[in-house]
């Protein structure tokens, strides 16, 4: 839960880094929900609150949010199920809150489509920064040329990606990761570099990168178990391989 010495009144002033967003906070702990909502409101966002999964889905249907802060452990319908159902309704960024320290639970959240997660106890200030980081990535980017290679295309302005002409259902982070690889074919990037370049974080749990690479492979590779596009360079990181990049390498 939030650190007890921090209160909504002590939250940072609005940053002005983007337009106000509608954020749906889903947590059955009223204290956590109140503190998180207070910080987000102080940061300039409009906040809806729900204490369980059905209420959250109802609020989302009535007023589709720009982002959801979602507790993993909810009564009845857990956060994973809520996230899955939200994903069926439309693309929305999700930050998962979990009281568990087990890595499997964090990875499960990422596997069902969460864009980020924060482990309780957490600093509400850090959560606000995570929210703003995800929102910046979700908002339309400045005009950028469409990217294409190996049958894949990505339009950063429209945030639309296709494989062999068929549209891909990508989360925000998956799209950003694909666009980054398309911009930088043939180069090897470590997980720390990808976290910095794609997520905009200087530090964090590197399993986040691993899970997103695995999810992206599942959507763009013909055989995800034997990937040809996103290749693992053992002990270093990942390389996005294309025929043109392969021809241009001296070690090809």
Query: For position 114, what pLDDT does the model report?
Result: 81
Geometric angle at alpha carbon 145, from 142 and 146, rounded to 5°? 115
**Domain residues for 205?**
147-245
**Is residue 7 predicted with pLDDT exceeding 80?**
no
151 and 78 both lie in a single domain: no
Provide the pLDDT confidence category of residue 188 given band limits of 50, 70 and 90.
very high
Rounded average pLDDT over 171-185: 92
| Mean of all residue pLDDT scores within the chain | 83
From 74, 104, 138, the end of a domain falls on: 138
Residue closest to 79 by CA, chosen among 104, 58, 54, 102: 54
Query: For position 16, what pLDDT does the model report?
Result: 39
Give residue-wise pLDDT tens across range 138-153: 776 565 788 999 999 9
**Cβ-based neighbours of 106, under 8 Å, separated by 6 or more:** 96, 98, 100, 117, 119, 205, 207
Structure tokens at 172: 């925000």
From 114, 138, 162, the end of a domain falls on: 138
125 and 154 both lie in a single domain: no
Provide the pLDDT confidence category of residue 134 given band limits of 50, 70 and 90.
confident
Q: What pTM, to 2 d.p., does this model score?
A: 0.62
Question: What does the alpha-carbon distance between residue 184 and residue 164 come to, in Å, rounded to a whole number?
Answer: 20
Look at the chain and report how many structural domains it folds into.
2
Dihedrals phi, psi of 148, to nearest 5 degrees: -155, 140
C-alpha dist (Å) from residue 84 to 92, 122, 209: 11, 24, 20
Query: For position 105, what pLDDT does the model report?
Result: 67
**Is residue 56 predicted with pLDDT exceeding 90?**
yes
Preceding amide of 46 cis, omega within 30: no
Across the strands, what pairs with 68? 24, 94
Other C-beta atoms within 10 Å of 171: how many?
23
């Amino acid at each position: 839960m939030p650190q007890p010495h921090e209160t909504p009144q002590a939250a940072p002033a609005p940053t002005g880094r983007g337009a106000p967003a509608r954020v749906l906070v889903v947590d059955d702990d009223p204290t956590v929900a109140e503190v998180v909502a207070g910080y987000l409101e102080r940061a300039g966002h409009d906040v809806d609150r729900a204490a369980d999964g059905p209420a959250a889905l109802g609020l989302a249907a009535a007023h589709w949010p720009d982002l959801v802060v979602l507790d993993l452990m909810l009564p009845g319908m857990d956060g994973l199920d809520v996230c899955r159902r939200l994903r069926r309704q439309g693309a929305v960024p999700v930050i998962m809150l979990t009281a568990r320290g087990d890595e499997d639970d964090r990875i499960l959240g990422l596997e069902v489509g969460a864009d980020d997660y924060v482990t309780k106890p957490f600093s509400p200030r850090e959560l606000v920064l995570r929210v703003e980081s995800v929102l910046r990535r979700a908002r339309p980017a400045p005009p950028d040329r469409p990217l294409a290679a190996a049958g894949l295309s990505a339009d950063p302005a429209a945030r639309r990606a296709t494989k062999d002409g068929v549209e891909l259902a990508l989360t925000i982070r998956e799209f950003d990761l694909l666009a980054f690889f398309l911009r930088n074919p043939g180069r090897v990037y470590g997980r720390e570099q990808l976290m910095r370049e794609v997520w905009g974080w200087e530090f964090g749990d590197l399993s986040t990168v691993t899970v997103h690479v695995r999810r992206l492979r599942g959507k763009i590779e013909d055989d995800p178990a034997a990937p040809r596009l996103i290749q693992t360079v053992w002990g270093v990181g990942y390389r996005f391989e294309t025929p043109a990049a392969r021809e241009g390498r001296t070690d090809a």
